[in-house]
Structure 1
Amino acid sequence: MGDHGAVTSATQHPRTPDATLAAPAPRLIATDLDGTLLRDDKTVSARTIAALADAEAAGIEVFFVTGRPARWMDVVAAHTAGHGMAICANGAAVYDLHRGRRLLAAYPLDPRDALAVIAALRTAVPGTAFAVELTGGFAYEPDYPPYAPAPDAVVAPVEDLLDGGRRGQPVLKLLAKHPSIDPDVFLRTARAVAGEHAEITRSSPSALLEISGAGVSKATTLARCCADLGISAEEVVAFGDMPNDLAMLSWAGTSYAVANAHPDVLAATTHRTVANEEDGVARVIERILAAR
């Protein structure tokens, strides 16, 4: 992928949704999945499917920008009308969903940085367990409770799991989970003790941190992809709901928080739409297309 454009963290003040229509005509829609595009039962509604297809038919690129790994992208892969581009693992990988989830680019976490984060968190937050998302699969420590059954996963101490990265299999994301700490406190603590080594964020309602390579986020990778397409930040409309979306929402020319978003996201975005359960993303896409 080409060099990324400038990515800023400036917080923009909320405006009314109608202000979107005064912005440059959107050329790309970038949307988070869980809690944003997807319903709570992890399905894509018929209204959303139609809106995505209509956007691509109108010549607007649609990128799914998610913390999910590629192996969890089947939920939307069947509903991509055109290219099926996905930025996964919070910016660590770019996939083409229409070509067998083909990996186009990876921005991995250096295992040495991962080990530094692990050491810092074990000291600061005892009881933290770790998992590793590799380009070739998922692996976790015996004390780490996986979100879903992972029969093919490797289970071993995280130091051994990171050997996969040293042997040439890129580490896309390190996951850190704690059974009882407040999720936002966990995030602040991790950033304070280990933020120099990696990009640390969260998207789960539980105390689960997602750790990427330093400087790697949804925003940096989306900016790279947009630069390759000749699309400016001002021509991007982005949607999200959780802290891992903040960099992308700040970078995009127009940003929307769904009504169910985390308070930090509601404070940082320029616009609002209704909740994911009410097809908030689809409603905005419909308005964008109606205004063209």
Structure 2
Amino acid sequence: MTSATDPQAVAPVPRLIATDLDGTLLRDDTSVSERTVAALAAAEEAGIEVFYVTGRPARWMHVVSAYVHGHGLAICANGAAVVDLRNGGRLVTVHPLERRTALDVVLALRAATPGVVFGVETTEGFHHEPAYPRIHAHDPGMIVAVAEKLLECPPGAGPGSGAQVVKLLAHHPSLAPDAFLSLARDAAGGLASLTRSSPSALVEISAPGVSKASTLARCCAERGISAAEVVAFGDMPNDVEMLTWAGTSYAMGNAHPDVVAAASGRTVANNEDGVAVVIERILRERAEGAR
């Protein structure tokens, strides 16, 4: 594994930077440092596109909406949505979790992990069961009696009708986060994509095959950008596929062990501007190579 100070750590001619937000680009107080803002602007000024790739829903992208430069698009909900940050977070593309599949996942997890509670992120907002914790007090969502009722298709309606399910969330009040993810994957991994990004026992569930990596790969293909031309950053298990796919990838100094194992390099922690450290090196090496 290389580090941010290793001469071989950075791809020679990157065309796109893909960065996670929480625990990666953002400091722990969810701010973006002046150093990082300057590095992002300098990268796009140099012709390197920047993509924010996050587990956050589009509704929570205000933290970086002021820093979009050349494009304004972001990948949200672990790859389930592409949004236009310049147009109020408008959904451009959705890779939905079919309601029938989401319902099957709920039933499987209820049987395997008693005590689990659910939240459902749809294209019309967030809904959750009464016992679901208010992890984000600023975004309480709408309470539903049980997730099963929300996920049932209305009589006579097709599986694609109504609001689309962007992401299903499952929370367990007592299991350890990694243990819960492992149990959830054993119970429902054949039905959907399961991952986690929270410090609590919160599993995030998307349609089969949907991940940060799958949607980033599509977006790059549309732009004629190969995986070898991408530099990616992340800190939690929901970043693993993206870091494995990218030609050059960095685990943050505060990263989960699975992320450290998946990445090709490592930088300093989010509170130390680890993303900016690498971007600055990329631009410095490009400038030196042009002389």
How high is the TM-score relative to the length of structure 2? 0.92
1:98 corresponds to 2:92: no
Aligned equivalent of 2:252, options 249, 258, 281: 258
Matches within 5 A, 1:1-292: 14-17=1-4, 18=6, 19-21=8-10, 23-149=11-137, 150=139, 153-163=142-152, 167-292=161-286
Contact 1:24 1:234 in 2 (8 A): no
Structure 2 letter corresponding to 1:15: T
1:120-159 CA-to-partner distances (Å, cap 9, x unmatched) read: 1111110000000011110001111122233552433101
SS of equivalent to 1:78: helix
> Structure 1 residues 256 and 114, CA, compared in 2 at 3 Å: closer, same or farther?
same
> Could you list the runs of 5+ residues in structure 1 that have no partner in the other structure?
1-13
> Structure 1 residues 107 and 180, CA, compared in 2 at 3 Å: closer, same or farther?
same
Contact 1:62 1:85 in 2 (8 A): no
For the pair shown, which has the larger CA radius of gyration, 1 or 2?
2
- Distance across 1 between alignment mates of 2:78 and 2:193: 10
SS of equivalent to 1:29: strand
1:166-214 CA-to-partner distances (Å, cap 9, x unmatched) read: 5321101000001110110101111111101000000001000000000
SS of equivalent to 2:2: coil
1:85-109 CA-to-partner distances (Å, cap 9, x unmatched) read: 2100000000110122121111010
> Could you list the runs of 5+ residues in structure 2 that have no partner in the other structure?
154-158, 287-291
- Report the Cα offset of residue 117 of structure 1: 1.1
Aligned length: 278
- Distance across 2 between alignment mates of 1:42 and 1:71: 15
SS of equivalent to 2:228: helix
Q: CA RMSD in A?
A: 1.3
Contact 2:106 2:148 in 1 (8 A): no
- Distance across 1 between alignment mates of 2:276 and 2:232: 12
Q: Which aligned segments of 4 or more residues in structure 1 are displaced greater than 4 angstroms?
A: 163-166
